[in-house]
Each structure stands twice: as structure tokens, then as C-alpha cells.
Structure 1
Amino acid sequence: MDYRKLGNTDLEVSRIGIGTAALGRPGYINLGHGDDLNHEYDPVLMEKNMFDVLDIALSFGVKYFDTARSYGRGEEFLGKWLKDKVEGTELTVGSKWGYTYTADWKVTAIHHEVKDHSLEVLNRQWEETKDNLDGYIDLYQIHSATLDSGVLKNIEVLDRLWELKNEGVKIGLSVSGKNQPEIINEALNVKRAGKLLFDTVQATWNILETSASVMLEKASKAGMGVIIKEGVANGRLTDRNQESSFAGKKQVLQSLAEKHAVTIDAIAIAFVLAQPWCDVVLSGASNIDQFESNLKANGVQFSEEDLNELRRLVEEPKTYWNSRKELDWN
């Protein structure tokens, strides 16, 4: 496993990290998520499954673990695992605030999570995060900052984030949607005395959605750590994607997977790792088999011809985000 400092921080991360969006709650939008969990949603079983994935990740040298308040019991499970299994181990742990989990442990719900970027929610969720991850939380991120929520112009929230930063917590934001570049640009302008508030940015970036490339490179050069989520596009960049409109792209991916003796998901993650501005890409694996498959990306070395083939598979941002919006919670 290769390692890097996360931007200009003193936090060390493995190039592949673990995200817990699909591990901490029974419902998620990844293709085949219910099958990955064998449709067994008892909290005890889900906790054990998450522990198993975290154990194997740790054994392979993973050093970055990412969760959020809205990931069901993901933050709680991660906190228990850290206290039970890795006392004294140097890891980097990030969580996120701004969404509240509302699905009540159901796979189908009217609303699985509700966004609120107010100061009240930040203060409440920071206390909840400390309860779960006290002594382990290194990075606290705004969850899916958007232009609509106005969080990057909310002086009360920004003041509180500066307070947390001055207390030693690294501050980041995650972004989502077709306006990712604009949001990252706005985040780069949140400064005091020439110092950036945000130490990191977490963005969706993959073979199909590359619109934030220029701004992510700019953020990296400015000293922000870059964390990439949804590297396999919620399962669309795996052999599970049966969309007829995707068949041609899938054939290209399958051909490259066979060439490098891996699966399509590993090709997708390797493409992210090939970007020099990326510090860590999250595996969103739901079980051990998926994680081990994702991890094989470490051994993939693309030729320039390979990279050019993959670059040609990109979608228009509007097309990509509309497709993502249509994915079913399962």
C-alpha cells in the first residue's frame, strides 16, 4: 500500500481508504447493495460485517477511514471498532456533518437523510461525533456543501469551523452534483489572514464524471488534501451495470480488465489513482470480497493508450448526475 500526506496537513493516508456509506445502514443506492448484505439487516449482523471489512482493510495497510453522521450507525460502528481493535494504531479518521439519518433502519423510506447546514445542526452533530469517535476524529467535513444551502457564506457556521480548526481538528468539505467545480472554487476563497479554512475536499470523480478535474488540481496545488468518493460510480463502473446504453463502454472496461487481470471496479479505482492530485480514493465496499477486488487497483499500471481509452468514456455532467439520481435505494 502506498501512502501520502493529506494535502498540507500532517495526516497520513493510504492511497485507498474505506468509506462507510454502504456499511453503516441497510439501504443505499449502490447497484446490488441488498444482495451484498444478503438482505440481512439486523444491526448485530451489519456491525459484524462492517468490522470484518475494517479488519481486512487494516490488515492490508489502509490508514484512512471515512464516515458521516447520516450513514445510519456507521459512525457508531466505526467508533466501537477503533476502540476495540486498533488502540495505539496511527490511523486517520474523517467524519461529516450536515445530513441527519431519517430512514429508521429501513431499506425503503420517504427520506433516507435530510440536509441542514445550520449552526444548530453543526453543534449538535459535532457533539454526537465526539461521543462516537472521541480521541479518533482527525477531520470534520461539511457533508455535500452546495451553492443552494449557502453554507460557504454562513458566517456563523464558518466562525464555528474556524474555532474547531484552532482546536486542532482539520476541516474539510465534501461536494456533489453538477456544480462541484463552482463549489470547490468558492471553498478556495474562504480564508483568514491568507490561510484556507478547508484542509481537504472530498469529491465525486470517476471515469464517467471528470468535470471537477481542473478545480481538484487547483485545490491540491493550494494545499488541500483531495479525497475521491464514488470511484466506481455507485456500481455503474462494475460488471453489475446492465444498462443497454452502457454496453459499449462496458466492453471497453472489460477488455482493459482482462488485459490487467483484474475486474472492472479495479480498473475504475486505478484510473482515479492515476491522477497526481488525488491523495486517497475511497473503497465503498459492502463486504470483504468487494474490498479485496477494489484493492487490486494498486497493482494496475496503465499505458497512455489505456488512459486515453478510459478518457473517452466520460459523460456529460448533467447526464451523469441524472443517472445517479435515478438509482434506487436497495
Structure 2
Amino acid sequence: MPFARLATATTPTCHIGLGLAAVGRPGYINLGREEDLGDDRSVEALRTRTHELLDAAYAQGVRYVDAARSYGRSEEFLADWLHAHPEAGDVVVGSKWGYTYTAGWSTDAERHEVKDHGLATYERQRAETDALLGDRLDLYQIHSVTPDSPALTDKDLHARLAEAAAQGLTVGFSTSGPAQADAIRAALAVTVDGEPLFRTVQSTYNALETSAGPALAEAHDAGLTVIVKEGMANGRLAEPHAPNALKAVAAETGMGCDAVALAWILRRPWAGVVLSGAATVPQLVSNLHAPAVDLEEDQLARLDTLAEDPRAYWERRGQLPWH
């Protein structure tokens, strides 16, 4: 499958991918966006910023880029960059469907995105993605599956996804919410003609939210590639918001809190790709130090104590304002 190209990557940062959620639209829930993006949130300003991040990521060996239909114009920005960089044919491109962007390029919209996992939405958004990314699309994921998602039981949708897989597209899913583990296990049970439908899973996992860990290990053991998103907990694990325990470990290693937080995830044997959600090139460069962070057992144990109850974690995440 196309996504298997990552498994043979030889660059030291092959396990770090670049997610475009923070730069494909003017508003997002990451902390610190006022400083990161400033006042100019125009389409062209964010297109330029996205291209600068992609340039830096590619130069440093990053070979997976993650977008979504609901990330504003992320697919468009990525498509423009790919067209201008024919040498980047080794970049693995993933996107997601299931949320529609509704903010109209505003940071204070009443609703920024609308969720719908129905077959009609898949057909519409697949056509929209194909119009932009065409045959550069390697991986298409259902966006934020929860245990009650109709995408887990819709046989007609499963048939269409299996058809896409038969034509060479890798089919995956992402998860969100306090019941991520239940959603992952339910998705692992989805089959078409006796064969598992999904080949990748993308879930939130970080030092504050670890509840999906056992299910992600099961997914890895079942042959799925695991992609970790929100490793920085939407900025809660970055300076200046990082917990004191993380700041202390970072000081001991001489690395940034962000690199240590991502390194903690990379120590999981099931973590195939860990996404950087950087909004600036310096943030990306700092994130890319993660593979070089050597954490001692006592440091890992101290970071393990940061885990929160998943319901409390997701409640707090849901209260983060769109900046």
C-alpha cells in the first residue's frame, strides 16, 4: 500500500509528520496563535506560511503531510506546494473527510466545522479532495470517529471505501473524545468480504491524554499504522503553558518542552508517525529535535504522572477558544 513507503524511510525524522490543522485556516484552538500568526490571517499569508513550513519540513526529512477537508484551504495549499516541487514525489499525503469547514475564513464564526459521516458527504468530499490532490492522495481517513459514528456500521459506505482501497488508496480513520479506545476497537472489527477495512488509525495521544494507548497498541499489532495527533495537547505541553514536571525534564535534557513531549510519544513501540502541528518554522525545527532526545527511565516516569482523566481532558479541550 502507498503508506508503506514511510516504513522504508531512512531519514532520522521519518517518524515525524507535519499536520496542517493550525495553518490551513485563520482560526484554531491552539494556545499562542496570537503570537504565532499575528494579525495577518489572509489566504495568501497562510498559503505562504504553509509553503514555508513544507519547505523546512521536506529539507529536514519529513515525508508525511496530513490535511483535511475541514482544515480550511490546507488541501489547496498543499496541492500548490506539491505542484511547485516535483522532486517531492516521495512525500506521503494524507487527508480526511467527514467534517465540512463552515467558518468562511473567520476566527469568530458561530460554527467552524460541521460533522457528517454519511455516504453523501464522503462522495462530495472525495470529489473535492480529488480535484485538488488527484493521484497524490495516498491516505484518506474518516475524520474523528466516535463509538456512535454511523461510519462504523454503514455497509454502503464500507463498500465504497473498500472500492477505493482496491484502486490503491489507503483507507484509515481518526478518533477524538474520551472514548477513543472504544472507537478504535470498534473500527478494528469492521471488515468487508472478511478483510479488515482500515489500514491506519490517527488518534490523540500525549502526556496528558493517554487513554487510547492500549487500543493503539492493539491496532499496531493488527497491522495498522498508528499516527499520533495533538502530541502537544493544543499547546498545553509547550512553553509557557507546560506543566512544571515537563519543564524540569526539558531543562535536564537541554531541549525544549515540545521536543521532550514528542520524544515521550516516540518511545511507544506502536507509534508509527507523530505529527508536528507547528505554526512557525522555529516551532517545527524544535519539534524535529524529538528523535534525538534521550529520556532516562526516571524522566519517563515523571512525565507519566501528568496523565489526566480523559473526560476532564476533553472537557477542557472543548472549552479552548478558537483564536
TM-score by length of 1: 0.93
Amino acid at match of 2:308: E
Amino acid at match of 2:168: G
How far apart are 1:88 and its partner, in Å?
5.4
How far apart are 1:220 and its partner, in Å?
0.1
- State the match for 2:321 in structure 1: 328
Amino acid at match of 2:81: W
Instruction: Decide whether the 8 Å contact of 2:259 with 2:289 is kept in 1.
Output: yes
SS in 2 for 1:134: helix
- The CA distance in 2 between the partners of 1:114 and 1:166, in whole Å, is 29
- State the match for 1:22 in structure 2: 22
Q: Which moved more, 1:16-25 or 1:252-261?
A: 252-261
How far apart are 1:38 and its partner, in Å?
1.3
How far apart are 1:327 and its partner, in Å?
0.5
1:12-51 superposed Cα distances (whole Å, 9 cap, x missing partner): 4620000000010000000011321112111111100110
The root-mean-square deviation of aligned C-alpha atoms, in Å, is 1.4
Mapping of residues 201-280 of structure 1, within 5 Å: 201-241=201-241, 250-280=243-273
How far apart are 1:155 and its partner, in Å?
1.2
Percent identity (aligned):
46
- The CA distance in 1 between the partners of 2:120 and 2:87, in whole Å, is 32
- The CA distance in 2 between the partners of 1:94 and 1:240, in whole Å, is 31
Amino acid at match of 1:254: K
How far apart are 1:102 and its partner, in Å?
0.3
Instruction: Decide whether the 8 Å contact of 1:27 with 1:34 is kept in 2.
Output: no
SS in 1 for 2:289: helix
- The CA distance in 1 between the partners of 2:170 and 2:149, in whole Å, is 22
Mapping of residues 300-311 of structure 1, within 5 Å: 300-311=293-304
- The CA distance in 2 between the partners of 1:297 and 1:96, in whole Å, is 26
Instruction: Decide whether the 8 Å contact of 2:140 with 2:169 is kept in 1.
Output: yes
Amino acid at match of 1:215: A
Amino acid at match of 1:186: A
2:269 paired with 1:294: no
Amino acid at match of 2:264: F
- State the match for 1:125 in structure 2: 125
Q: Which moved more, 1:286-295 or 1:225-234?
A: 286-295
- State the match for 2:84 in structure 1: 84
- State the match for 1:244 in structure 2: none
Q: Which moved more, 1:265-274 or 1:186-195?
A: 186-195
- State the match for 2:306 in structure 1: 313
Amino acid at match of 1:329: W
Mapping of residues 76-155 of structure 1, within 5 Å: 76-87=76-87, 89-155=89-155
How far apart are 1:240 and its partner, in Å?
3.0
SS in 1 for 2:243: helix
Q: Which moved more, 1:100-109 or 1:187-196?
A: 187-196
SS in 2 for 1:187: helix
- State the match for 1:246 in structure 2: none
Instruction: Decide whether the 8 Å contact of 1:93 with 1:139 is kept in 2.
Output: yes
Instruction: Decide whether the 8 Å contact of 2:82 with 2:88 is kept in 1.
Output: no
How far apart are 1:86 and its partner, in Å?
3.6
Q: Which moved more, 1:189-198 or 1:261-270?
A: 189-198
Question: Which consecutive residues of structure 2, in runs of 5 or more, have no partner in the other structure?
Answer: none
1:262-283 superposed Cα distances (whole Å, 9 cap, x missing partner): 1111111011111000000000
- State the match for 2:38 in structure 1: 38
Q: Return the match for 2:278 from 279, 282, 285.
A: 285
How far apart are 1:195 and its partner, in Å?
2.1
- The CA distance in 2 between the partners of 1:258 and 1:87, in whole Å, is 39
TM-score by length of 2: 0.95
Instruction: Decide whether the 8 Å contact of 1:30 with 1:234 is kept in 2.
Output: yes
- The CA distance in 2 between the partners of 1:165 and 1:211, in whole Å, is 29
- The CA distance in 2 between the partners of 1:125 and 1:11, in whole Å, is 25
How far apart are 1:196 and its partner, in Å?
1.1
How far apart are 1:137 and its partner, in Å?
0.3
- State the match for 1:245 in structure 2: none
Instruction: Decide whether the 8 Å contact of 2:158 with 2:192 is kept in 1.
Output: no
Q: Which moved more, 1:276-285 or 1:148-157?
A: 148-157
Q: Which moved more, 1:62-71 or 1:153-162?
A: 153-162
Amino acid at match of 1:277: W
How far apart are 1:11 and its partner, in Å?
4.6
SS in 2 for 1:202: strand
- The CA distance in 2 between the partners of 1:138 and 1:24, in whole Å, is 19
SS in 1 for 2:135: coil
Q: Which moved more, 1:144-153 or 1:126-135?
A: 144-153
